[in-house]
Amino acid sequence: MLDSLDHIRKIDTRNMLQMAADMPGHLRDSNLVGRSAQIEHDDISNIVICGLGGSAIGGDMISTWLSESCRIPCDVTRSYSVPAHVGAGSLVIAVSYSGDTEETLSMVDSAFASGAEVVAVSSGGRLKAVAEERGTVHCEVPSGLVPRATVGHVFGAIVGILESAGITEATEDMEETAAVLRRIISDCGPAVGTSENPAKKLAHELHGTVPVSIGYGLSVPVARRWANQFNENAKVIAFSDELPEMNHNGIVGWVGDGRCQGYSMIFLDHDMCDAKMARRVAATKDMLRDRVRVFASTAMGRSLLAKMFSLVIVGDFTSIYAALLRGEDPSTTEPIDALKKILSKKGS
């Protein structure tokens, strides 16, 4: 089924597979947009990235990346207001692909009220209008895409903004990331048969089970991305967890509850961890193999950035193929649209 391009075209109506394959270009193009921003940076004491869903996951990855190389703390907020510590000296980066996300617009109002410097990232919408009204920087990314397929645009733009502010420099890592992504895309694209395609193989292995992605260190935000992509693309229940935290709670349920037989765990592995964590990951896999199906996807590349995105792209392709196996269009999200209508009626 996954090797029939005609079958894929009929189900994947907005060509989500191509959007995934365009990720290297998304990173490059929007990084240039972000770098062109003029950011006052003399007294930035903390960074807060505001967003929801696919617009926030890039922020999670930024926060993890910066934690390894930058002394300025970076948090991600998914709410209606910014935390109380935000104020003068805070750089708030508000991200909404559509520009009309209710919660993000509310956080922007809260950030302005706190006295923070606010930078906006969107394809237009109300967020762009607010930025223009307030005279603050707006970084515009291309419109017309499915929001969750724009993680490259979001990440690239935020990195560019931080480069403009003198907080980080990422040229070499971004170039390596793009090269790694292109190699993986050539292996995971729809024209590559299942027997040679790691994403198609994994989609078949996971079919009919509940996927649970497990991250540690740099792969924690990517694990969340995997679960979200399975939720939205494949329209299945999916979860994520992280080590070592799950060893202090979740492991008890996985070992003690017989209902876990219908679950599959995917460990998002990498070599940027110390010996203690490596032993913990191996021991956890050994303990769980008798209880659930255990799989792994291993990061590629040299830099932390390349490793994160190598895992992201495999998860994106796998979730899209999982959708196609179920006969689901990976681009649709009717329940989200229906909930927005309900909320709109309740607010009127």
- Catalytic residue IDs: 232, 248, 340
CB atoms within 10 A of CB 84: 7
Which residue in the block uniquely carries the two structure tokens 């922020």?
59
Nearest to 156 by CA among 60, 55, 32: 32
Please tell me the distance from the alpha carbon of residue 151 to that of residue 102, in angstroms, as a whole number. Answer: 19
Please tell me the distance from the alpha carbon of residue 176 to that of residue 293, in angstroms, as a whole number. Answer: 33
Helix (H, G, I), strand (E, B) or coil at 242: strand
> With b meaning 16 or more CB within 10 Å and e meaning fewer, what string describes 300-326?
bbebbbbbbbbbbbbbbbbbbbbbbbb
CB atoms within 10 A of CB 134: 13
Backbone CA torsion sign across 149, 242, 310, 204? negative
Helix (H, G, I), strand (E, B) or coil at 241: strand
Which residue in the block uniquely carries the two structure tokens 């509850």?
257
Please tell me the distance from the alpha carbon of residue 124 to that of residue 52, in angstroms, as a whole number. Answer: 16
Which residue in the block uniquely carries the two structure tokens 């302005």?
112
DSSP 267: E
Q: Residue 299 is encoded by which pair of tokens? A: 């990061």
Q: Residue 12 is encoded by which pair of tokens? A: 């994947």
- On whether the CB atoms of residues 231 and 336 are closer than 8 A, the answer is no
Residue 225 makes CB contacts below 8 A (sequence gap 6+) with: 57, 60, 61, 151, 312, 315
Q: Residue 138 is encoded by which pair of tokens? A: 């707006």
